[in-house]
């Protein structure tokens, strides 16, 4: 095909908000204007761009779907008026006699519209699309210019071979896929391997556009790309919202574009602990801002978890929007006070010390008669955490600051937390991050900063809740290096107890951890949401009943991990 037949396509990574029809459409229009100014013939936006994703039970409301239809028509009229001649691909919900559809809209440059309904509806992990959508049945291939033909797909469609194969049979020259594929560790490499593999197996190039930004527990990483018919990546975007440079679909179809330097036999760039940190920052920023807040408040203890949470918040929102409170008791070490102050100073965040010993004593005074003659236990320990949670919520109410909790996945798994105490808040930035990953992320913070923004003493000190004299986490728990491997195996990989034992762990330890995981389901149900970053996060990924009677779960557990 001659250069004169060029057909430039621009990919737009858009950060949507569920239900913000006007705002989402405005972003599509803005992207269309900029794409046309770049010489594009077609703009491609992500899945469900008009509604936001996932819209969940909003999609079951007729008024919501009617609003989407109204804004789809407004978008069509605006595109014809403002960017005539530019084809635009975007996503939304469509009501049909057969049910609601997850629909790709192809807005032609002449004002006409064609639709394609998503055929494969995911119903695993965090996805529940079969509950709200009816699958499509047909393919869509559209002629572009004189000879070029584009076939269309929506996200899950390309995780299966049939859609790509049928598009090839329908004489498509390349595939355009719109997506809302959430991020998790290792997902990008798996995603690219699957969808590029199916497209290349059909002998088709692929233009793949993904959503970016945080939406409740999910975080979308963007990283849209284009690949040729041999599966080589010729363009890849980062995670940021914005437009890619135009990709000439004619040259893409002809196999005439040079591959990216990282497209063959090389790891996907930006993966690992660095990308995990970026996704946590994105998730916090979007949850706070999209829910109408500008500032957050958190308890800063001098420990590693709260130090990491404070750094994530400062990088997400700016240091001036982060407020930290140190709330010591008689059990708080002087080192904790020093380290918390240093962390706050290094970040430049607002920081204050509010001793809670008087409040704690007042509570104990009220309970003195009832507790008389009974030994100290978790009741006295948890009361301290609950006083702290009460104060943080007071700051939230008075100053309109969203409370961030600072618990990690290791603690949440085994219930090493206090209901209505350190779990009290609105968003939990590291709830799906294992303790060993917390330490790695802290070192990533310091690597980026070029100095100990989180003091090494914070990272190296033995973890402690400091709720009793001389308390250490590992008095109640296996060492985190062991605990995290068991949690990862049982929760994230679905390994059974025998399999985990055979991999080298003591049966008694494995059974105890598994008992604690299931015994503390009731706690996790009452904890705030946080970003899903692993293959299986507690929450929408993990749906076990709180009441059950299963095998080794009934054996005496010895000392519990409950706080």
* Bridge partners, 323 (sequence order): 297, 350
CB-CB contact of 262 with 355 (8 Å): no
435 is catalytic: no
- Exactly one of 45, 65, 68, 155 is catalytic; name it: 155
Strand 206-210 relative to strand 212-215, pairing? unpaired
- Exactly one of 118, 187, 409, 431 is catalytic; name it: 118
48: left (phi over 0), alpha (psi -120 to 50) or beta: left
- Exactly one of 11, 27, 45, 47 is catalytic; name it: 47
* End-to-end Cα distance, the chain: 69
- What's the rounded Cα separation, in Å, for the pair 500 and 497? 5
Strand 148-154 relative to strand 141-144, pairing? antiparallel
- What's the rounded Cα separation, in Å, for the pair 140 and 150? 8
Supply the DSSP symbol for 529.
B
143 is catalytic: no
Helices (H), 400-496: 409-414, 435-449, 456-460, 480-487
Burial level of 270, CB count in 10 A (0-12/13-18/19+)?
A: middle
45 is catalytic: no
CB-CB contact of 203 with 237 (8 Å): no
Q: Give helix then strand counts, H and E, for the chain.
A: 17, 19
Q: Which residues are catalytic?
A: 47, 118, 155
């Amino acid at each position: 095909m001659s250069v004169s037949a060029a057909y430039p396509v621009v990919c737009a990574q858009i950060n949507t908000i569920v239900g913000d029809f006007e705002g989402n459409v405005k972003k599509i229009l803005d992207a269309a204007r900029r794409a046309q100014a770049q010489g594009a013939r077609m703009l491609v936006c992500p899945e469900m761009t008009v509604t936001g994703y996932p819209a969940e039970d909003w999609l079951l409301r007729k008024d919501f779907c009617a609003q989407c239809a109204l804004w789809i028509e407004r978008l069509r009229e605006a595109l014809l008026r403002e960017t005539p001649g530019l084809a635009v691909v975007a996503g939304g919900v469509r009501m049909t006699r057969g049910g609601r559809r997850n629909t790709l809209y192809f807005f032609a440059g002449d004002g006409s519209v064609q639709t394609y309904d998503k055929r494969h509806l995911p119903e695993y992990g965090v996805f529940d699309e079969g509950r709200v959508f009816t699958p499509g049945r047909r393919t869509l291939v559209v002629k572009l210019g004189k000879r070029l033909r584009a076939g269309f797909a929506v996200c899950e469609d390309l995780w299966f071979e049939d859609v790509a194969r049928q598009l090839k049979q329908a004489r498509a020259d390349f595939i355009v896929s719109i997506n809302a594929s959430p991020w998790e560790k290792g997902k990008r490499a798996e995603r690219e391997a699957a969808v590029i593999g199916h497209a290349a197996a059909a002998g088709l190039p692929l233009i793949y556009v993904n959503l970016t930004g945080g939406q409740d527990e999910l975080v979308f990483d963007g990283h849209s790309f284009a690949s040729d018919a041999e599966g080589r990546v010729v363009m890849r975007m980062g995670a940021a919202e914005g437009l890619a440079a135009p990709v000439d679909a004619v040259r893409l179809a002809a196999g005439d574009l040079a591959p990216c330097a990282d497209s063959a036999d090389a790891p996907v760039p930006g993966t690992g602990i660095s990308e995990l940190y970026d996704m946590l920052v994105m998730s916090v920023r979007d949850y706070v801002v999209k829910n109408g807040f500008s500032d957050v408040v958190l308890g800063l203890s001098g420990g590693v978890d709260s130090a990491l949470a404070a750094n994530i918040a400062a990088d997400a929102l700016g240091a001036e929007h982060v407020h930290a409170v140190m709330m010591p008791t008689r059990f708080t070490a002087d080192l904790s006070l020093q380290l918390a102050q240093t962390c706050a100073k290094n970040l430049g965040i607002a920081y204050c010390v509010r001793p809670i010993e008087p409040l704690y004593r007042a509570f104990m005074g009220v309970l003195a008669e009832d507790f008389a003659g009974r030994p100290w236990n978790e009741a006295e320990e948890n009361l301290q955490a609950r006083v702290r949670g009460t104060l943080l919520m007071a700051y939230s109410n008075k100053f309109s600051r969203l409370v961030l909790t600072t618990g990690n996945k290791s603690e949440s798994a085994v219930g090493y937390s206090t209901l209505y105490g350190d779990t009290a808040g609105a968003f939990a930035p590291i709830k799906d991050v294992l303790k060993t990953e917390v330490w790695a992320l802290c070192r990533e913070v310091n690597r980026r900063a070029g100095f100990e923004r989180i003091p090494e003493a914070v990272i190296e000190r033995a973890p402690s809740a400091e709720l009793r004299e001389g308390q250490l986490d590992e008095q109640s728990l296996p060492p985190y290096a062991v605990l995290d491997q068991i949690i990862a195996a049982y929760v994230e990989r679905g390994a059974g107890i025998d399999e985990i034992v055979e991999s080298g762990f003591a049966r008694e330890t494995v059974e105890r951890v598994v008992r604690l995981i299931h015994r503390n389901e009731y706690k996790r149900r009452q904890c705030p949401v946080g970003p899903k970053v692993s293959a299986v996060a507690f929450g929408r990924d993990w749906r076990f009943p709180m009441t059950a009677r299963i095998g080794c779960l009934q054996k005496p557990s010895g000392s519990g991990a409950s706080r």
